[in-house]
Each structure stands twice: as C-alpha cells, then as structure tokens.
Structure 1
Amino acid sequence: MFHSPRPLVAAAAVPIAFGRAGVLRPPEPRFSLVVDLSQNLFSARWWRGLATLTALVTGVSLLAPQMGPLPAGTPVAEGPDQARQEAALAVGALSRGSATGLTMSEGPLARPIASAPARQSRTLSLVVSPGDRLARLLSRNGVRMADALHAAAMIRAEKALPAPGTTLSLRLGAPDAAGQRPIEQLHYRARLDLEIEVSGGETGLRVERRAMNLDRTPLRIRGSVGGGLYWALRSAGASPAQAADYLQAIGGSLDVGSEVMPGDRFELVVAQAKSADGRTVSEGLLYAGLDRSGGSDLSLVRVPIGGRLQWINETASPEPVRSGLLAPVSGPITSGFGGRMHPILRFIRMHKGVDYGAGWGAPIVAAADGQVIRAGWAGGYGRQVRIAHAGGLVTSYSHMSRIVAEGGFVRRGELIGYVGSSGLSTGPHLHYEVLKDGVPVNPLGVTLVSRPVFNDKLMAAVRARAKALRGL
C-alpha cells in the first residue's frame, strides 16, 4: 500500500486545552502613531503612517512664523498722542530740552550723520595697580607716549610716584591724527600731606607740589576690661593694629591672659595725623596705661634707649631684677647636662646642654631678651639659632626644622623657630645650650640679672611725658 509522505507543518502545534492541539499565531499589533514606512509597503498601516506624517508637516508649516525682510528706515511719530509721549521721554531735539542722548526721530530739526565727532576733552579716573608703572598706565589709557614718559619722569624727580591703590584724576585734550591725546591735567594725592598736579599747555608739562596742613593731635582711647582685653580695646575704638601694639606693650610687664581682670581700666594714646578733608593716618602707640584692681598699675611710655625704642614704666625701680631663663619649648627634659652615651656615636661624650622632648613643629621661643648672632646651618647641630644676652651669656637652639628669627633683637618669649630633627639627631627634639663667656654651663642653674639702663634724668623725662599724654 502506497503512503504519501507527511506534509510539512506550517505552524507549530501547541496544546490549547487538555487533549486538544492548536496553531500558534503572532499577536495582533497594538495601535500606534509610530509607523516604519520602510516596511509593509502600501498596507493599511503604511497608509495611516503616511497620513500622520503629512498632517504633522502641514501643521508645522502653518504655525511657523513668517520670514521676510525687516522694514528699513527710521520710524516717525504718528499722531499727536505718540508725539506727546516721545516728548515726555525727552526723545526730541536739543532745542526742546532733550539731553538724554537717546536716539531721536528724524525730523526737520534732527538729521542722521555718518560719524560722530571726537570729543575735544576727555576726563578719566584711574587706579594704580600693584606692579604697574605710571608711564605705561597713562599710555594704556590714550595719553601721548611723549607726555606719558615726560610726566612720569617729572613725578619721579619729585620722589612722589603714586603708590598702588592711588586714584589719579586725568583730563586729556583733543586727539591727534593717531588718536592719542595730550595731558591737560593730572592730579592725585601722593601722601596725606602732599598733592601732586601735572598740567599741560603751550610751554609743555609742568609739575606742582601742594603741601597740606595736618592736625597731629594724638588720639586718646579709654575703657574697661570686660570678657577679654582685646575685644574691650576694639569696642572702645582701637583698630586691630592699635590693640595688638597695646597688648605687646603691656605683655612685657605682665601676663595678659591671667593677670588682667574684668573691671581693670585701660588707657592708650595713639599718634595720628588728620588732614583738612578728614583723612586720618595712625602713626603708632605713644602711651599704654592699665589701672589694675588686683596688682600694681602700669604707665608705660615709649622712649629711645640704646638705639631702639623701649617701653618704660614711670614707676619702674632702678634696682636690679633677677629672673631665670624662660623654657624655650613646651615639653619634658629627656637628657640633662653632663656626660652621657651619645645615641648615634655610641661613646661617652659631654652633653653641653639639655634636650627637650617635643613634637615636630612645636614652637621655640627666646629664653630672654637678646641679639640674634647666628641663624643657619651648623653641621651636626642642624639648623641653629644663637642669641647673645647681657653679661656675656649666649643661648643656643639646635636641630630646628625651620628658623623664623634670622637677625635683629628679640624679646623674651618671642618665636624664633620650630622643633625638628636636622643634623645629627635620632628624632625631633630641641637641643638647648647656655654659654657663659664661651663656656657651656647648665641651663637649669642660670639666673639673669638685668640692670636698668635708665637714670634719674631719663625717669624724670618719662614721668613728664606720661603726665602730658594722660592730660590730652
């Protein structure tokens, strides 16, 4: 019996229900305005997509603004109402009071011109920047190069060049063919008591110095200490610099943080100069007084002694004052004065000072008033500072990470550097030595004896000066 071959199945048979089979068909697509016109050409879905695209293009073209050339010409006022409105806004001829500089409507009294004429005079206000040169500043703002160089040379000869931040008032003349202008007048304040004016004319530039009278009456500030001395000074009218000078002045005689109490009264007199136009410049502290409720009062006057200014208390005693050296750094002593096993060389060696254990970067201060005689690298001592004091005494500070005091006079407690480990050192610390006439001595047993350098005649002058300043 002949059997025909099994026909190919066009669709996979899947169970529809128990014991039944069916054919899997693709799901009907949902309705969407998004149609790919490259597929199913000329089908109903394709025609619907084409119609949607056509409608969108037509809508955009209808809603787009009309593109065309802008109207040319100057609009003219139409009607009496618009003319009155423009007259109220000062849009009109100068003969009718229009001075705003706005564009005026063209009319019988106003005609457009091809170009505006150059101003015959020009006034500028210039500020000198740091690092700027006067001639370059003037030339950059349109001054003829010859005038700029000449004016700068004359002012330099007067030793009155403007400092950074100075405002210059400059008036220039008519421009030449190259567009540059001559100087008609240059004026500025060189100092509080000096004005400089450079003027030009047919004979060329000339410079004039104008001295100004100053009122040099000192300023007196008084007040009471409240929660803190610094802020009490600021509240009384002292500037930050004046308050700092006052604290430094009395800080040499007492501990400001612990010995100044609420209720104490302070007084300071500051030198100042005041010009006729109200400008004021402070010139330094002259007097520092403190009335204390729990201790002796201070009445300090600044006088020149030994080539430098020092604060002297009018009640100072001429008796010698004995005091120990100030500890140069905050920290424990890790190695004392005398023989010891050297931590690096590993043999018994004389330790000429004491070592303070302190962290890297801890501040180091001067143990007493003195003159810095050495500040730099010192071989195995690393970075070192040496200070000479009265009586042939020298203090030495070694192994520093950074030096601050590189020369000059330093006061007791003044910062001179920071702890480090430079030179032959096993770690950060301060090696501190004291030498008497060049011989190392134990720093812990040294006592300073300071003898006053003032006499009875100087003290009489100090008391007279303090009385005069308090009486202002």
Structure 2
Amino acid sequence: MFLRNDHGLDQAGGTAAISFGRALVPNAELTRFEKLRAAALHIDWVPDLGSRIGSLDWWRGAATCAALCATAIAIAPPITRPILGAIPAPLTGADRDEARAQAILPLALGANSGRHMASNDLVVPLAEAPERPVEDRTATVGQGDSFGDMLQRAGVSERDAQNAVALIASSVPLGDLKPGTQVPMTLGRRPNRSVARPLEALALRARFDEQLTLKRVGDQLVLTKQSIAIDTTPLRIQGPVGSSLYRSARAAGVPVKLVETYIKAIASKFAIGRVGRDDSYDLVIERKRAATGETQLGNLLFAGLDHGAAKTQLVQWTDGTWYEASGQSERQGMFTMPVSMARITSSFGMRFHPLLGFTRMHKGIDIGTAWGTPIHAPADGTITFAGRSGGYGNFIKLSHGGGIETHYGHLSRFATRPGQHVSRGEVIGYSGNSGMSTGPHLHWEVLRGGVAVNPRGFSFSSVATLSGEQLRAFKAKVASLLAVKPGA
C-alpha cells in the first residue's frame, strides 16, 4: 500500500522510515557535528562522586567539578582591593534637628530627642486621676492572722469586714482556716477617696469539700454555701526498689513524710539492709479528690514489700499499730534511755533506802538529772496514768502493749495526759524532786507482765493478735486495700 506525499509515493506501515513531522535520517547521513552532539547527550556530566570511585564516569564528574570551580575563580572580582561605596554627607542645620527629634538616644548620654509640645488653652489639668470602678484583689490567710484584719488590709471597710467575719464564722470556725489560703474578692465603687471600698463579692475555700461565697444584695452581704463532691478512693503506688528504696518512692510521687512512715513500718518487720534492687514496694495512701480538680493525700494505710518469695504486708489499725495481713503484730527492740546524758545513781535490785533506813527491793533505776530535764518515751506507747502516786510523787505510767509498761517517778510536771498516744522520743514529762526523794532525779521502772525487770539493756519481743469482731473488720479492710488498682 502506498501513500502520496509531496515527494512522491511512500510505503505505508511496517518498515517505512517516517516520523511525525519529518523523516528519520539514517545514521550514515548525519553530519559530524550532529554525531558529536548525539554522543554528548548520552554522557552523564554530573555523576555521583560518592559512588563508583575511580571509574571513567567518576573521573569525568571530577573534571567537570574542577572546571566549574576554576571558572568561578577566574571570573570572580579581585579581593585584594576594597569595593568603594558612596557615603552620605552628614546632616546639618534644620535637617539635623528634624532627624534628631525623631531619633531615640540614650538618656545616659544626655539625650534630648523627641518632640516636645507645650500645653495651650485647650489643655485642662485633672484635679485627680480617675479610679477604676471595680477592683479584683486576692488576700492570703497568714499564720496566726485575724481574718477581719486581713480583709481590712486588703482594702475592705471595717463594717463589711465585720459582717463578712460573722457570716463565715457561722459556717466554719475561723481557726480552722489553714495559713496560705487564698481569698479572692471584688471591691466596688466608693464615693470618694477618703473611705474604703465596699465589698461586693468574696470566695473562700472553707474546707476541702465546701466553698463559701459572699455577694452583695442591696445593702446586705449574703452567704452561699456550695458543697464539693469528694472521691475518697485510696491511691496505690507500686514500683521496683532499684538503687534506692527512698529515691524510687519519691520519684513515684510519694511525699517525704509518707516515705519515712513506710520505711519505719517495714523496718519493724524486715531488715532494711536486706532490701535488694530487684524487690518491689507497695503503698496505699489515703486520698481525697475534689470535683474541682484538687487532690489531698492523707495517712499511709498499707505498706507492702515483695522480697522474692517472701511478702511483707502491713496494715495500720485504729490503735496506731501496724499488723500483718493475718492480724498479728510482733515487735522487737530495745528501750532507749528516757533522758539524755544519763548518770545512774542507784541500780536495780536490793538496796538500803536512804530515807526509810532499811534494805528493800529497788524495782527500777535512779537517774541523776538537773531539775526540769525533759523525759522522753523510750518506745511508742499510751499514757495510762499521769498524776500523784504516794512516795513516787508526780508519776506516769506508759503502756507499750504486749504486757510491757514503764513507770516514771518524782517528776516536776507532766507534758502528757492519760489516754494520749506517744511516739518514741516524744517528751512525756520533766524530772523533779516530788515525793520521797533526796534530790532531783528520775526513778524509771520497766515491768513485763506486772513483774519489774532491770531497765538497763532491756530488750522486748511482744506479739499482739486481733480477734473476734476486730479481726473480721481488719480482714475486710485488708481486702479492700488490696483491691485498689495501682495508679487509679
């Protein structure tokens, strides 16, 4: 099949050397320049110099880079001679004064820049600066501060301060307000500067679960109470001991005092020196969460330690004692001396009484002290008696549980009262010379099961066990604490 064109008949299809627009010219018919151009188009002049190092393409790329750098250096202006630029002529006369008036100059250099315009007849001086119609202020409750005085220092009138104190005191004792409590308030417009501003509104977080609001309605302040929903779910924190039990617990967010309480509780059942980095701690803490977002942590409720296969689980009961999950509490230790710098003047055992004039059993030891020396509890316990007792004079009985009691005689005065729980090292009284005594000293007795023993070097081991209704309530508390999810 043939097609007609301007050059005659050409074969259609298959092998015809025809292109769109012009016919393809055989390679033999190309000029030398066209051949060189076609070959140059197939050469990669900028290859990747990081690959195929040493190949023909790499050397070609290196030569291209060198040629470009040489060309840039050759056509660059010389750097030995500076390039001159035009410098504006300095301003003088009126032009300089105009430019200076619009400039900002350092005051330290005596600057007098800026435009100054004197006042004319249109300027009316103000007799006094206007006040804001309403002011928002915040007062803070201080240590031992009076709530009324605090309001007056914040600018509240004496009458409004008295009314506010009376309204708030009817809802919450003012002495219960914690130092540092923020009291935002709004003060209204006053007729002149010689009087205090009236109190328009006041907000006070009286308790963790109650918000008090004072608002002015007409000429009276009205108190509004708002209860805040509180969630009392305890907080449980668990984690590995790592390099330090104290640091690990603090890093998990446990307050310092609770960490110290936890370590003290665990140390009563388990040697702290045996705690390893692979062990894990477990704490359950009292927590209150308000609907407004605040969180308040309380006492430590549960102290646990996983030491390999051994587990220590302690729960504090209502008597302040840490019991194991089984309901038992075992304590071991030694009593410390009740006074510092002790000097024993009479030992335990048979002795000649200096006042009665015959030999009899001395059921304790006498410690020579200056009059009024503080007496410290040698261990945790409860005061069962504090009063006058015959020849002992002012006398204290301290029960430590497990049938162990300590007695203190010839005191000058008391620092505790019956029924009070005291901790180790707490001051319970002061030495004196009351009763049958030849001079200021402390008579100290230790009784186990009602029988006097030598207080020097006394070590004790007591086991307390809950039973009956207390044991059932204790078991229920343990189950509820163990059911708390960590971090919930």
**Deviation larger for 413-422 or 266-275:** 413-422
Following superposition, the deviation at residue 352 of structure 1 comes to 3.2
> C-alpha offsets along residues 347-370 of structure 1, whole Å, 9 cap, x if unaligned?
433233232779887975446x65
Partner of 2:164 in structure 1? 151
> What's 1:92 paired with?
none
2:283 to 268, 288, 292: 268
By how many angstroms is 1:449 displaced? 6.2
Q: 2:142 aligns with which of 126, 129, 152?
A: 129
Please show how residues 430-449 of structure 1 align to structure 2 within 5 Å: 431-434=444-447, 441-443=452-454
Structure 1: distance between partners of 2:374 and 2:212: 51
**Displacement after TM superposition at 1:338 (Å):** 3.7
Q: Deviations over 1:425-457 (max 9, x none)?
A: 6786653243866xx644579987645123463
Aligned residue number for residue 301 of structure 2: 286
TM-score, normalisation: structure 2: 0.60
- 1:348 aligned residue: 358
* Equivalent residue in structure 2 for 1:170, among 182, 185, 195: 185
Q: CA deviation at 1:268?
A: 0.5
Work out whether 1:253 is the aligned partner of 2:269.
Answer: yes
Which position in structure 2 is the counterpart of 1:23? Answer: none
Question: Does the alignment pair 1:302 with 2:310?
Answer: no
- 1:119-153 per-residue CA deviation (whole Å, 9 max, x = no partner) reads 32233222222333333333344333332222221
Distance of 1:160 and 1:362 partners within structure 2: 34
Match among 326, 337, 348 for residue 329 of structure 1: 337
Name which of structure 1's ranges 385-394 and 115-124 shifts more when overlaid on structure 2: 385-394
**1:466 & 1:115 partners in 2: Cα distance?**
67
State how 1:16-27 maps to structure 2 within 5 Å. none
Q: How far apart, CA to CA, are the structure 2 residues paired with 1:167 and 1:446?
A: 51
Whichever residue aligns with residue 174 of structure 1, its letter is: R
1:265 deviates by 2.0
User: What residue identity is the alignment partner of 2:253?
Assistant: G
Q: How much does 1:376 deviate?
A: 5.9
Pairwise CA distance, 1:289:
0.5
Look up the match of 2:235.
219
8 A Cα contact 1:397 1:431, kept in partner: yes
Give the alignment partner of residue 323 of structure 2, picking from 312, 317, 329.
312
SS at match of 2:143: coil
Q: Encode CA deviations 1:50-103: one digit per residue, 9 max, x unaligned.
A: xxxxxxxxxxxxxxxxxxxxxxxxxxxx986677669xxxxxxxxxxxxxxxx9
Distance 1:125 1:263, change over 3 A: same
Give % identity.
Answer: 26
Q: Taking structure 1 as reference, are residues 414 and 452 closer, same or farther at Cα in structure 2, changes over 3 Å only?
A: farther
Residues 352 and 441 of structure 1 are in contact (CA less than 8 Å); yes or no, is this contact kept in structure 2? Answer: no
**SS of equivalent to 2:130:** coil
Q: What SS does the corresponding residue of 1:138 show, helix, strand or coil? A: helix
Distance 2:479 2:445 in 1: 43
Unaligned runs of 5+ in 1: 1-77, 87-102
User: Could you tell me how far apart the structure 2 residues matched to 1:236 and 1:128 are?
Assistant: 32
Letter in 1 for 2:240: S
Determine the C-alpha separation between the residues in 2 that align with 1:168 and 1:412. Answer: 37
Where structure 2 has 5 or more consecutive residues not aligned to the other structure, the ranges are 1-95, 105-115
Secondary structure of the residue aligned to 2:161 is helix
Change in Cα spacing, 1:435 to 1:316, as seen in structure 2 (3 Å) is closer
Residue aligned with 2:483, SS: helix
Deviation digits for residues 150-209 of structure 1 (CA, Å, limit 9, x no counterpart) = 222112222274543222222222213542222222223323333222111425221222
User: Contact 1:326/1:412 (CA < 8 Å) preserved in 2?
Assistant: no
RMSD, aligned CA = 4.4
Residue in structure 2 matching 1:373, options 369, 384, 397: 384
* Bigger Rg, structure 1 or 2: 2
Q: Indicate yes or no: 2:129 matched with 1:116.
A: yes
